[in-house]
Amino acid sequence: MVDVVALGEPLIQFNAVTRGPLRYVSYFEKHIAGSELNFCIAVVRNCLSCGLIARVGADEFGRNVMEYLRGVGVDISRVRIDSSSYTGVYFIQRGYPVPGRSEMIYYRRYSAGSRLSPEDVDENYIKGSILVHSTGITLAISESARSAVFRAFELARRRSFDTNIRLKLWPAEEAREHILKLMRRHDIEVLITDEDDSRILVNTGDGDEAYRKYRELGVGLVIFKKGARGATLYYENTKIERQAYRVPVEDPIGAGDALGGTFVALYLKGRSYEYSFDHAIAAASLVITARGDNELIPTEEDAEVFLNNMRRS
C-alpha cells in the first residue's frame, strides 16, 4: 500500500522551445505531465509513497508514461493500459499573447485517461492510504472519471483537492456545480485554489472571504494561490502570507501541482504549517524556471538549500 493516492490523467506534453504563436514554432520538447501525476512526483520527492490511479493508451506514449513514473518512484500498479484508446497529448505555447504566461492546447478528447471509471478504483488500495487527492481537471474530462473521483473520495480517510478549473474542458457553470457537489458530499482537508477559481465557485476572488465560504463547505485548510504575487495559507482561522520569489520564469505551468504535492507530503509527515508552506513555495518557484512540469520539483533538502540562499540574498 502507499501513503497517498491520486486520480487523474497522465499526458504527454510538447513544450515549445521558442516563445510565440505555435504556428511559428518548429521545435518542441517532450515531457511527461498531468496535474495529478505532477502531484504524485512532489509527494515522492518529499519521501512519502504515492500511487496513481489512471489509464494510458497501449501506445508508445503510454509506455513512456509508465516507464517514467516507475523511474521516479511513483507506484503504477493501478495504472491501466487501455488498448481501445490513446494517450492524451497537449502543446504549450509560451510567452504569447501575454509575456511570462503559457497557454495549453489539448488533444485529449476520448483519450484513455478520460475513460477512467469507478471500476478502476481499488477499494483496498484507497482504504490502505492516508490521503486521496484529485483535481477539477479529472472531474471535467468525462462523467466516468468524475464518478471515479466521487467513489475514491467516498472510500478515503482524508482528502485533498485542487480546484484546477480549465475552461477549455468545461464551462464555468458545470465546474461550479460538480466541484461544489463534491465539497458538500465529502470533507476536504486540504484545498488548493486561486482567485479565478474562487470567483466561479464562491463568487469572490478575495482570499479571506473565500476561506470563510470554503470553511462553511467543510474545508479544513486552504492554499490560496495568487500567481506572481505569491500565496496565502489559511487554517484554523490563521493566515500565513508569502510573497513569490523573484526567479527567471521559463514556463509557469505545473507550479501549483508542485506547491500542492509538496505541502501535502510535508503536512502528512508532521512538519509545521509554516515549514510545509515555505517548502511548497520553494517547489513552485523552482518549477517555473524550466520547461517541464515536474523535473525541477525539489527534495526537502534541496528546497531548504533554495530557501536558505534566497533568505540571504
Instruction: Write out the H or E segment, with its range, that includes residue 167.
Output: none
Enumerate residues 6+ apart whose C-beta is below 8 A from 45: 262, 265, 297, 298, 299, 300
Reply yes or no on whether 257 is catalytic: yes
- Closest to 56 measured CA to CA, from 90, 85, 36, 35: 85
Residue for grid cell 483535481: 135
CB atoms within 10 A of CB 236: 8
Q: Which of 3, 257, 278, 293 is catalytic?
A: 257
Closest CA to 88 of 117, 109, 64: 109
Q: Element (H or E) spanning 257, and its range?
A: helix 255-268
Question: What whole-number distance in Å separates Cα of residue 203 and Cα of residue 20?
Answer: 33
Query: Which positions are annotated as active-site residues?
Result: 257
